[in-house]
């Protein structure tokens, strides 16, 4: 069973995409808001019935119902409002995630845990520490969402099919994210050989700033994060062992320990099966270091 804690727009979309991909025959939507997960489950089941898809979605306000879950996604918490940075959400959501993870420990202690709540990297670290789970079992969705935006800007800049784009975004899920333009390829050709340095810089900056633009225009980002969550779940369920950017606890990789941040990782049935260490140049390393510092400072603010 897949459990998604937080039945708002992103949680509902994550359930929708997971059901359409038939990633499990049971999906549970959990939320403290009375009626919300039940109503969302009804709506999804009606759609799935017409589609002829035998996935049952259940809505609940009771943590005990997630017993036996193989994967638990944590979307619960306050959303990012127009004008807010992810870090503005820091203290509000830290207490929410801690309480949620305490319940996961109680009722689904064998599950893989996928934090989504912002600010993502500090919340992933809090989830890891609070759960006491092995580090391979806790990996946050941040980089996958950033990657979806990065790929779109590459597509717009080159006019090439989205299928032909291979790219990666690492570092903090926030203002210090690191879209690795140097490592991106289109139809097997390095992106820097296809577009100008000015266009590379534009893609880099646009990837960093576009989330705030979407939030300003429509109030929240929904479809891209919902899909990103389902893509991570799909890699686990199908044991695809695809390299994906996820926020997970480092133990010496990239020169850091005891901090969760976005890195390229092989994702399979056991969660994070390997962390790939890329050879970063000085500028890339500087951005990655800024992200680590930001996450550590955020965690320090919570504990102070």
Q: Could you give the CA distance from residue 302 to residue 101 in angstroms, rounded to a whole number? A: 17
Q: Could you give the CA distance from residue 177 to residue 169 in angstroms, rounded to a whole number? A: 7
Question: Would you name the residues annotated as active-site residues?
Answer: 173
Which residues are within 8 A (CB) of 272 and not within 5 positions of it... i.e. 6 or more apart? 135, 136, 137, 139, 246, 248, 265, 266
| Residue 53: closest CA among 30, 13, 76, 24 | 24
- Neighbouring C-alpha atoms within 13 Å toward the C-beta of 175: 9
3-state percent helix, strand, coil for the chain, nearest multiple of 5: 50, 20, 30
Over the Cα atoms of the chain, what is R_g? Answer: 19
Q: Could you give the CA distance from residue 29 to residue 37 in angstroms, rounded to a whole number? A: 6
């Amino acid at each position: 069973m897949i459990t998604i804690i937080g039945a708002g727009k992103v949680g509902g979309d994550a359930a929708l995409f997971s059901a359409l991909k038939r990633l499990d025959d049971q999906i549970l939507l959990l939320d403290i808001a009375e009626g919300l997960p039940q109503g969302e489950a009804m709506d999804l089941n009606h759609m799935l019935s017409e589609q002829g898809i035998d996935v049952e979605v259940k809505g609940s306000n009771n943590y005990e119902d997630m017993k036996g879950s193989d994967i638990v996604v944590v979307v619960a918490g306050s959303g990012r409002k127009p004008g807010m940075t992810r870090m503005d959400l820091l203290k509000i959501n830290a207490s929410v995630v801690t309480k949620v993870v305490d319940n996961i420990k109680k009722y689904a202690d064998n599950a893989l845990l996928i934090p989504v709540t912002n600010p993502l990297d500090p919340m992933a670290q809090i989830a890891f520490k609070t759960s006491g789970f092995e580090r391979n079992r806790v990996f946050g969705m941040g980089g996958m969402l950033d990657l979806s935006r990065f790929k779109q800007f590459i597509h717009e800049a080159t006019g090439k099919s989205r299928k032909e784009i291979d790219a990666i975004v690492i570092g903090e899920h926030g203002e210090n994210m690191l879209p690795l333009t140097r490592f991106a390829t289109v139809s097997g050709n390095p992106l820097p050989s296809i577009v100008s340095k000015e266009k590379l810089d534009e893609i880099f900056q646009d990837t960093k700033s576009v989330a705030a633009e979407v939030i300003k225009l429509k109030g929240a980002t929904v479809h891209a994060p919902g899909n990103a969550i389902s893509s991570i779940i799909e890699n686990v369920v199908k044991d695809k062992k695809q390299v994906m950017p996820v926020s997970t606890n480092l133990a010496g990789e990239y020169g850091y320990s005891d901090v969760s941040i976005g890195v390229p990782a092989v994702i399979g049935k056991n969660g994070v099966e390997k962390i790939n260490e890329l050879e970063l140049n000085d500028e890339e390393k500087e951005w990655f270091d800024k992200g680590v510092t930001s996450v550590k400072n955020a965690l320090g603010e919570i504990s102070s």
